[in-house]
Homo-oligomer: A and B are copies of this chain.
């Protein structure tokens, strides 16, 4: 598949902060290294998990460069460059390309709802300014706009928009993409609890923060699917579904950091207004993680 560098499990690192709520680059690199060596098939800094919109331009650039340096080409890198304005999106996309990213991910962030034409122009303007491929990302819960399958189809007509990430949680969107765009469309699942259903529907990959905590289970699910073993996939999915639901329900940055601590790993701090999980929630997560190990 042309210009489609991702397949399998694409892992999303968190962005850790120090005690003064400044980005902690050394810890970030350590977290990136964990994701690479645990066998994930791609890495995606500056996603929702990486609290992209809460970072300054300089912080985004530091995270981008730290990722490329740490990964050293062992797996492909997908850098989030979404921004409310087109000008800033272009700026960050060009920075990512120059830094060595394999692709950029763009969600149309909205304060004022955008028309379909405005969204197409936004992607097209960015696409003309870079030569690496773009993953268009649909997530109304965080981005504030729900791109219809018909609009996603229009975006795919832009030459270097080659991938779609769907996070609506509606499996029928994937059916539509596959039916409308043929077996070769590269669509990715971004809704964790939908992982099994999305792979069953033909998703090429799973964009997920879960490998920060349970990489073997995430990769195992993908392998069972690749082996055409539905029952094994079902088993391995049901082993992890409670954790997937928990991290989504509590917010990925909060939940991943809590989970890292439970696993004995450093996860850093959050940036306000985001606050850590409450004690009761941490206890709940401990039980979920403990049950995984059985």
**Chain A residues within CB distance 8 Å of chain B:** 21, 48, 51-54, 84-87, 108, 111-115, 117-119, 121-122, 125, 142, 144, 169, 171-172, 175, 178-179, 193-194, 196-197, 200-202, 225, 228-231, 233-234, 238, 241-242, 245, 251-254, 271-275
Contact = CB atoms under 8 A, between A and B. Distances in A.
Contacts of A125: 272
Contacts of A115: 275
Contact of A230 (B51, B85, B230, B245): B230
A70 to B, nearest CB: 25
A267 to B, nearest CB: 16
The DSSP consensus for interface residues of chain A is: helix
A119 to B, nearest CB: 7
Contact of A87 (B85, B242, B272): B272
Contacts of A169: 172
Contact of A111 (B51, B230, B272): B51
Contacts of A200: 196-197, 200, 230, 233-234
B119 A48 contact: no
Contacts of A228: 228-231
A121 B175 contact: no
Nearest to A86: B272
Given A112-B253, A230-B230, 17 more contacts: A21-B87, A48-B111, A51-B111, A53-B111, A54-B84, A54-B85, A85-B271, A86-B273, A87-B272, A122-B273, A171-B197, A175-B238, A179-B238, A200-B233, A228-B229, A228-B230, A228-B231
A142 B273 CA distance: 18
A275 B118 contact: yes
Give 10 closest A-B pairs by Cβ, nearest first: A86-B272, A197-B197, A122-B273, A200-B200, A230-B230, A53-B111, A112-B251, A118-B273, A86-B273, A171-B197
Contacts of A114: 273-274
B119 A273 contact: yes
